[in-house]
């Protein structure tokens, strides 16, 4: 019986020591990850940094070991005292003495259990911190895409589980990226990278592993698709980058991209595969940029260009029509069934949930614009001029649909308040000008803008936007009001 209590106390002490040591090791690991957000160090600097971290870990371990030793000694002293009492002269033992000794053992073990529970809570908290730190270590700080480290790890995983046999690699490069930094400043260059990364994430995340490969280069690893399907999806995405305008400090920046694809060949090394995709990209650059090539073995071949609709004389903007699961953007004048092609509220609800889920992974904001006609009973979604101007003004990445009461809804991912207000102002002015010149009786709209937090539903966001529209109309109409947006 006495030996059991002694063994039990030692077991508790050892477990506590292990918990402490594991906790401090995890804490050090988390510090290490957060201290290295992706900076590249030379060999000597990295060795010095590693040695410094090892010294910190060693000192922390020394302090913890001393605390653990003190806790274990205290616990064992109590157990040994109770053991000596119970092992003493049996003739002097009575029921009260035995009961007190047992109570001491119980209290000692209860105290140890409390300390174990505290250590467990600490470890769970540190485990959560470690998961967050690991996510940061695998994420590019600027674009919120996977970084090069995560890309390399993903390729290794595909090699180890055999799925690489069905993989297609895309490398995409922003054309003449240096000119954005030189002509508009590095903040403009950063904005270009963020917007391009958003397009890649939204369009490809369901079918590919998307990462920032380095600088202005991005990579995507397609799985479960044929080579031909990957070419089509990749080229549609590349074209979409070229059709959108990035508004930065009062200027519209035109962005183009070049691309190369390569399918993994049996027995091929990772570096050889990447080199072939890079060769296809290089060929796209050498033949004029703003295009894509795919590798037929070791020979680059051009990806078929997507057809675009011809522009009419009155067209304000030519949009590339991409038949994808997202919205097809059509800006042709006078399309008779233009209204029927925009998504109704049930589809907009579904799209709202999908966009929120996707954008949360890349930490990108989503804004909603609600457009309501001031002239009752005209509905904005049913008026051809309102719809046409709206479509011509929004970005290629935006989604246009209608609410149940006939208002137009626009989803703007990867936007900010300033950019959303700018687009809304253009819509207001464009609708007024277009209807005034065509009929002499101008149509005006009231527009509400709201930001989408992570925890709010479609109905809550629509209600916020409707409140903003009401305020705009109460102020006289033909105005833009912002409701519930971050400062």
- Kindly name the residue from 121, 165, 216, 313 that is annotated as catalytic: 216
Burial class (CB in 10 A: 0-12, 13-18, 19+), 116: middle
Instruction: Identify the domain containing residue 174 by its residue range.
Output: 148-302
Beta strands in 233-349 (DSSP E): 245-248, 251-254, 257-263, 292-296, 299-302
Domain presence at residue 325: no
pLDDT at 467: 94
In 3D space, the residue among 486, 400, 410 whose CA is nearest the CA of residue 451 turns out to be: 486
Neighbours of 224 (CB within 10 A): 12
Are residue 117 and residue 164 in the same domain, yes or no? no
Are residue 295 and residue 360 in the same domain, yes or no? no
pLDDT at 321: 32
Are residue 113 and residue 159 in the same domain, yes or no? no
**The model's pTM:** 0.47
Cα–Cα distance list, 38 to 41, 50, 98, 153, 215 (Å): 9, 15, 63, 15, 12
Mean pLDDT by 10 residues, the chain (487 residues): 46 48 43 40 52 58 58 68 65 68 75 72 61 67 91 93 93 94 90 91 90 94 94 92 80 90 93 94 92 94 59 33 33 37 90 85 82 88 87 81 93 82 87 70 91 91 94 91 80
Please say whether the dihedral angle defined by the alpha carbons of residues 425, 430, 436 and 441, taken in this order, is positive or negative.
negative
pLDDT at 279: 94
Q: What are phi and psi of 250, to 5 degrees?
A: 80, 5
Are residue 122 and residue 154 in the same domain, yes or no? no
pLDDT at 308: 36
Q: Let me know if 216 is a catalytic residue.
A: yes
Number of domains in the chain: 3
Are residue 378 and residue 409 in the same domain, yes or no? yes
186-204 vs 227-243: helix crossing angle, rounded to 10: 140
Domain presence at residue 318: no
In our burial notation (b when 16+ CB lie closer than 10 A, e otherwise), range 425-463 reads ebbbebbbebbeeeeeebbbbbbbbbbbeeeeebeebbe
Instruction: Return d(Cα 34, Cα 407) in angstroms, integer.
Output: 47
Are residue 413 and residue 281 in the same domain, yes or no? no
Instruction: Return d(Cα 11, Cα 17) in angstroms, integer.
Output: 10
Instruction: Return d(Cα 399, Cα 340) in angstroms, integer.
Output: 15
Domain presence at residue 152: yes
**Domain C-terminal end among 113, 137, 161:** 137
Domain presence at residue 462: yes
Are residue 222 and residue 82 in the same domain, yes or no? no
Domain presence at residue 440: yes
**Domain C-terminal end among 137, 159, 174:** 137
Are residue 120 and residue 12 in the same domain, yes or no? yes
Are residue 125 and residue 202 in the same domain, yes or no? no
Count of positions (residues) in the chain: 487
Domain presence at residue 397: yes
Tokens of 445: 């709209």
**Domain C-terminal end among 137, 156, 189:** 137
The string of DSSP codes covering 39-67 is ----HHHHHHHHHHHHHHHHHHHHHHHHH
Residues 385, 434 contacting (CB under 8 angstroms)? yes
Domain presence at residue 107: yes
pLDDT at 247: 78
Instruction: Provide the terminal-to-terminal Cα distance of the chain, rounded to the nearest Å.
Output: 69
Q: In this structure, what DSSP letter does residue 224 have? A: S
pLDDT at 12: 47
Any idea what the CATH number is for the domain that residue 164 is in? Answer: 3.30.70.270
Domain presence at residue 23: yes
Are residue 249 and residue 195 in the same domain, yes or no? yes
Are residue 152 and residue 255 in the same domain, yes or no? yes
Are residue 42 and residue 97 in the same domain, yes or no? yes
């Amino acid at each position: 019986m006495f030996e059991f209590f002694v063994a039990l106390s030692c077991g508790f002490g050892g477990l506590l020591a292990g918990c402490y040591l594991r906790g401090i090791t995890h804490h050090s690991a988390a510090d290490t990850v957060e201290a290295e957000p992706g900076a590249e160090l030379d060999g000597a600097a990295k060795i010095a940094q590693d040695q410094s971290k090892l010294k910190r870990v060693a000192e922390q371990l020394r302090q913890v070991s001393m605390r653990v030793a003190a806790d274990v000694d205290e616990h064992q002293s109590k157990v040994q005292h109770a053991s000596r009492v119970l092992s003493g002269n049996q003739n002097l033992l009575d029921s009260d003495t035995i009961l007190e000794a047992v109570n001491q053992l119980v209290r000692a073990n209860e105290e140890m259990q409390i300390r174990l529970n505290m250590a467990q809570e600490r470890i769970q908290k540190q485990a959560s911190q470690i998961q967050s730190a690991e996510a940061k270590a695998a994420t590019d700080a600027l674009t919120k895409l996977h970084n090069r480290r995560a890309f390399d790890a993903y390729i290794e995983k595909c090699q180890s589980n055999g799925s690489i046999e069905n993989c297609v690699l895309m490398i995409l490069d922003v054309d003449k990226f240096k000119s954005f930094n030189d002509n508009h400043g590095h903040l403009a260059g950063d904005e270009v990278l963020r917007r391009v990364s958003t397009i890649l994430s939204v369009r490809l995340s369901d079918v590919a592993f998307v990462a920032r490969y380095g600088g202005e280069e991005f990579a995507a690893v397609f799985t479960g698709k044929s080579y031909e399907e990957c070419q089509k999806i990749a080229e549609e995405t590349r074209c979409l980058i070229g059709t959108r305008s990035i508004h930065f400090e009062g200027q519209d920046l035109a962005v183009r991209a070049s691309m190369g694809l390569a399918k993994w060949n049996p027995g091929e090394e990772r570096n050889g595969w990447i080199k072939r995709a890079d060769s296809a990209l290089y060929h796209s650059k050498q033949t004029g940029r703003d295009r894509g090539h795919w590798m037929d073995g070791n020979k680059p071949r051009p990806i078929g260009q997507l057809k675009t609709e011809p522009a009419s004389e009155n067209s304000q903007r030519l949009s590339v029509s991409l038949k994808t699961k997202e919205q097809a953007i059509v800006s042709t004048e006078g399309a008779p069934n233009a209204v029927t092609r925009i998504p109704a509220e049930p589809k907009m609800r579904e799209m709202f949930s999908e966009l929120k889920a996707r954008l949360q992974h890349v930490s990108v904001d989503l804004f909603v614009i609600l457009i309501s006609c001031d002239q009752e009973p005209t509905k904005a979604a049913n008026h051809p001029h309102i719809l046409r101007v709206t479509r011509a003004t929004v970005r290629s990445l935006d989604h246009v649909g209608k609410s149940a009461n006939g208002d137009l809804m626009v989803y703007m991912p990867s936007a900010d308040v300033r950019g959303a207000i700018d687009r809304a102002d253009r819509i207001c002015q464009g609708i007024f000008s277009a209807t005034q010149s065509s009929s002499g009786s101008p149509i005006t709209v009231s527009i509400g803008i709201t930001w989408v937090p992570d925890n709010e539903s479609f109905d809550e966001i629509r209600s916020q936007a409707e409140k903003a529209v009401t305020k705009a109309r109460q102020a006289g109409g033909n105005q833009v009001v912002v409701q519930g947006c971050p400062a």
